[in-house]
Structure formats: structure tokens, C-alpha cells
């Protein structure tokens, strides 16, 4: 391919992008250069320090090479090879290029060790919010053990400028290794089967932070999107109250509820209040407050009634390979089920 054609193709692809993403939730670019929590900030600082040190070394070495090339170039008109004066053995230079790198390495080790200890060893204060995250192929289960809340794919937590409200995450996996990463809040931590890992974050600004699974975990790894919804403490409290509320059965959608209970939905999805049949169904995301969430299918679709219909009708269209099959519902069944699910605020 010619270079010109390549460039044209690149711009064509870039122009086509908005059309492709129109159906997706707003993906703000998750940026490690805009840290908004303590762990991300200290990791950013150390990255900048390393960048500065290596940058100075690069400029020094590249500058010397450039200078040498220019200074000792072959004089114009000269036909014979000419060499600059050769220097053999210099104790000062030997000592300098041994001691300097050692000092640099020790500085980097010391600073890294301090940051790693501060990020990894922080133990949760009594009052910290505790959240358990369980990675599944290809979605996130989100549990608030102290509040008795079960949710999926978005993690709500309080945010305060002074970092008083830290959230501690216990990370587990139901199947293979995943990795939890919200670039603006913290580094990556793996979710490993039969093991519990920890991480913490203290968002300084309310907002929706985007992230993704950061460890290849199968077909739909790229669509294992994550969002942290950081709110001021009062709004977070409000959210917990809403999630704890038992959904009132709306008699207008009772036929949809019956469809849900009589079809296979109930074998994989829990809706609290539905009774024994669905309690303990943990194979798919808990749907108790599905309508309060921002996305469907772990971030592939915005949570709107049209998209919910599209998703339930055939999840394989938007997330090929995901573990939910198309149930081949009739349009009437689909309407009833979607209307019912829409009431689960």
C-alpha cells in the first residue's frame, strides 16, 4: 500500500468511528496523565520522575553522538579516512560512568519502593467503604457486603477532595484471570481464581471514570468495560438507599415477571424479591436494580429500553461469544419481559 493511500485509509477509518460508536456509551478516554486519586497520582509522579531522568540521559547521549558526528566529520575534499585523537584509559571517566548509573539506580529503587509500599500496604481504616469485585467472563460482579447490595459493571463510591473517603476493593475471579483498571484512579490489579487481591482508591472529583479489563480473558475481553461512578457522599448514600429498597411489584408488568420466572432467565439471573427460584442464581449479573444502571452487557450498550430489547432478543449481535444465548422469544414475550425489566429501578 502506498503511503498516501494508507493515510487516506486512516482518515476514512477515523471519520467512520463516530458512526460505529454512536450506539455505545460515552467512552471518555481513560487517561493515565490526568490522575484523580492518591494511588494514580503517586504512580503518575514516579513515572514523571523516571521520564525526566531517562530524558536527561537520552539528551546527553544523543547530544554527544550528534556533536561527535558533526565535529569529526570528514573534512571537505579529504580523500583519506581521518580519525580524531584516540584516548586510552582514563580513571576519572571510568569512575564517573560507574558511579553515576549506580546512584541513579539507587534513587529509582528507593523512590519506587516507597510508592509501592504506600499503594500496596495501605490497610483500610475502619470506616472505609468495602467493595468486593468478582470478575466473570465478561462482566463484573460488584458487591457491597456492609450494605447488602449486589450490582454489576459499575462501581459507585463516594468522592471527596481531601481523600477522606477511600474505597477498598477485594478482587476475586469466578473463572479466569482478569485485571481491574481505572487509569485515572489507580494502577492495574489482577483478579485471580482462588485468591483475593486488594486495591484502594479515593476519587478526588465526582464523575464517571472509565476503565476496562486489562488482562486478556477470552473472546469478549475488550468488551469487559468498567465504570466507577464517584459521587459526593450524600449522593452516594442516596444511591445505597435506592439499591437496598425492595423493588415494588408493579401489577401492570406482572405478566412480564411471570415470563421471566417461567423462562430460563431465572436460572442465571437473580432478582431479589422473586422468591426461591431466582435467589442464588449468580451465573449472570444480578438484575434487581438493572434499570438504574448506565449500560448493558458490561458497557457495550447504553441502558435504554430499545437497547434492552435488542440485547435480550439476541446478545450475540452486540457481544458475540458472550455466555447469554438468544432465547428466541416471540415479539410479545420480548415486550413483556423488557417492560418488566424496565421497572427494576
* List of residues contacting ligand CUA (CB under 6 A): 135, 138, 178, 213, 215-217, 221, 224
Closer residue to ligand CUA in complex, CB, 235/282: 282
* Residue with smaller CB distance to ligand CUA, 225 or 308: 225
Strands 167-173 and 129-136: parallel
Q: Least distance from C-beta 211 to ligand CUA, angstroms?
A: 11
Least separation in angstroms between CB 224 and ligand CUA:
4
Nearest-approach distance from CB 313 to ligand CUA, in angstroms: 25
3 state SS of 196: coil
Helix locations, 167-232, DSSP H: none
CA Rg value for the chain: 28
Q: How far is the CB of 34 from ligand CUA (least distance, A)?
A: 23
DSSP state of 193: B
Question: How far apart are CB 175 and ligand CUA at their closest, in Å?
Answer: 9
Q: How far is the CB of 178 from ligand CUA (least distance, A)?
A: 3
- CB count in 10 Å sphere of residue 184: 26
Q: Which is nearer to ligand CUA, 215 or 286 (CB)?
A: 215
CB nearer ligand CUA, residue 213 or residue 266: 213
- Cβ of residue 113: shortest distance to ligand CUA, in angstroms? 29
Query: Among residues 226 and 296, whose Cβ is nearest to ligand CUA?
Result: 226
Type and span of the H or E element at 296: strand 295-296
| CB hemisphere CA count around 337 (13 angstroms) | 23
CB of 32 to ligand CUA, least distance (A): 18
Cα end-to-end span (Å), the chain: 53
CA distance 253 to 261: 13
Q: Describe the strand order of the beta sheet including 167-173 as a list of residue ranges.
A: 149-152, 139-144, 129-136, 167-173, 197-201
Pick between residue 296 and residue 344 the one whose CB is nearest to ligand CUA.
296
Q: Which residues contact 210 (CB under 8 A, 6 or more apart)?
A: 27, 28, 29, 30, 182, 225, 226, 227
SS3 state at 225: strand
Q: Supply 141's cell numbers.
A: 460482579
Q: Is 40 exposed, middle or buried (0-12, 13-18, 19+ CB in 10 A)?
A: buried
Smallest distance, ligand CUA to C-beta of residue 221, A: 3
Cell (9 digits) for 32? 493515565
DSSP state of 270: -
Q: Which is nearer to ligand CUA, 199 or 338 (CB)?
A: 199
Backbone φ and ψ of 17, nearest 5°: -55, -50
Q: Would you say 185 or 224 has its CB closer to ligand CUA?
A: 224
Nearest residue (CB) to ligand CUA, 119 versus 191: 191
The secondary structure of residue 280, as a DSSP letter, is T
Amino acid at each position: 500500500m502506498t503511503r498516501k493511500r494508507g493515510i487516506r485509509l486512516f482518515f476514512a477509518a477515523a471519520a467512520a468511528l463516530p458512526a460505529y460508536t454512536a450506539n455505545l456509551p460515552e467512552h471518555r478516554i481513560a487517561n493515565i496523565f490526568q490522575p484523580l486519586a492518591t494511588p494514580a497520582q503517586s504512580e503518575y509522579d514516579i513515572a514523571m520522575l523516571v521520564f525526566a531522568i531517562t530524558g536527561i540521559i537520552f539528551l546527553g547521549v544523543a547530544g554527544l553522538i550528534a556533536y561527535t558526528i558533526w565535529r569529526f566529520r570528514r573534512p571537505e575534499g579529504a580523500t583519506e579516512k581521518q580519525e580524531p585523537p584516540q584516548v586510552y584509559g582514563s580513571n576519572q571517566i571510568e569512575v564517573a560512568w560507574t558511579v553515576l548509573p549506580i546512584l541513579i539506580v539507587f534513587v529509582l529503587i528507593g523512590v519506587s519502593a516507597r510508592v509501592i509500599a504506600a499503594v500496596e500496604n495501605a490497610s483500610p481504616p475502619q470506616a472505609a467503604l468495602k467493595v468486593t469485585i468478582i470478575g466473570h467472563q465478561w462482566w463484573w460482579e460488584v458487591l457491597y457486603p456492609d450494605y447488602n447490595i449486589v450490582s454489576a459493571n459499575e462501581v459507585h463510591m463516594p468522592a471527596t477532595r481531601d481523600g477522606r473517603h477511600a474505597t477498598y476493593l477485594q478482587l476475586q475471579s469466578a473463572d479466569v484471570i482478569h485485571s481491574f483498571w481505572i487509569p485515572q484512579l489507580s494502577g492495574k490489579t489482577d483478579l485471580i481464581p482462588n485468591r483475593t487481591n486488594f486495591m484502594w482508591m479515593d476519587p478526588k472529583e465526582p464523575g464517571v471514570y472509565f476503565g476496562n479489563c486489562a488482562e486478556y480473558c477470552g473472546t469478549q475481553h475488550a468488551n469487559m468495560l468498567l465504570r466507577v461512578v464517584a459521587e459526593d457522599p450524600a449522593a452516594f448514600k442516596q444511591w445505597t438507599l435506592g439499591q437496598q429498597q425492595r423493588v415494588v411489584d408493579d401489577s401492570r408488568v406482572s405478566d412480564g415477571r411471570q415470563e421471566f420466572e417461567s423462562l430460563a432467565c431465572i436460572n442465571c439471573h437473580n432478582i431479589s424479591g422473586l422468591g426461591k427460584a431466582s435467589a442464588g442464581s449468580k451465573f449472570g449479573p444480578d438484575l434487581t436494580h438493572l434499570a438504574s444502571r448506565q449500560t448493558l452487557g458490561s458497557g457495550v450498550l447504553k441502558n435504554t429500553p430499545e437497547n434492552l430489547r435488542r440485547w435480550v432478543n439476541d446478545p450475540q449481535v452486540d457481544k458475540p461469544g458472550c455466555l447469554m444465548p438468544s432465547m428466541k422469544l416471540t415479539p410479545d414475550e420480548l415486550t413483556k419481559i423488557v417492560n418488566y425489566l424496565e421497572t427494576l429501578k
